[in-house]
Amino acid sequence: MGFLGNSAANAADLNLILQLSILFLLLTGVILAKVSLFKAHGKFMISLIVFQFGAVFIWMLPSFLRNLGALGSSGIGTGVTLLHVFAGSFALVPTISAAAHWTESQLKRTMRLAISAWFLVAILGIAFYAHYYLGIF
């Protein structure tokens, strides 16, 4: 039982809180860009990307690989899991592109795509947690 009082492990609860914090901080990064604090925005967003990659490689990827066999079953849990994995994988492309400034002329559009993708991934991650640990839907 995790510290949030449900069937999740402590690590899953910690990851949920980390992801919700990152989501909130992403909004802060958007605000920094809106008020033209671009250097602060860049440094802030890069640090969030590092935290996100840490969460993916320390918690999410190992958990996914350990439970790969469960994906053979049908149901909403499998669908949410696969959507979350695919959306998260897709979100990496514009995120890395924006961080590396590979497409300088389309940077604003790339950043908007990245932030939209991360919000979708966060919603799917919350749905994943709700399904597997709270028994919702």
pLDDT tens by residue, 58-104 = 988 998 998 888 787 778 889 999 999 999 999 988 888 887 775 56
Return the closest-CA partner of residue 66 out of 12, 17, 4.
12
CA–CA separation, 24 and 100 (whole Å): 23
Contact 64, 52 (CB under 8 A): no
Q: How confident is the model at residue 129 (pLDDT cuts 50, 70, 90)?
A: very high
Q: pTM for the full model?
A: 0.84
Contact 93, 102 (CB under 8 A): no
Residue 102: predicted pLDDT: 57
Six-digit token pair at 88?
């998260």
**Amino acid identity at 94:** P
What's the whole-number mean pLDDT along residues 11-28?
A: 91
For the chain, helix (H) and strand (E) counts, in that order, are 5, 0
Q: How confident is the model at residue 109 (pLDDT cuts 50, 70, 90)?
A: confident
Q: How confident is the model at residue 37 (pLDDT cuts 50, 70, 90)?
A: very high
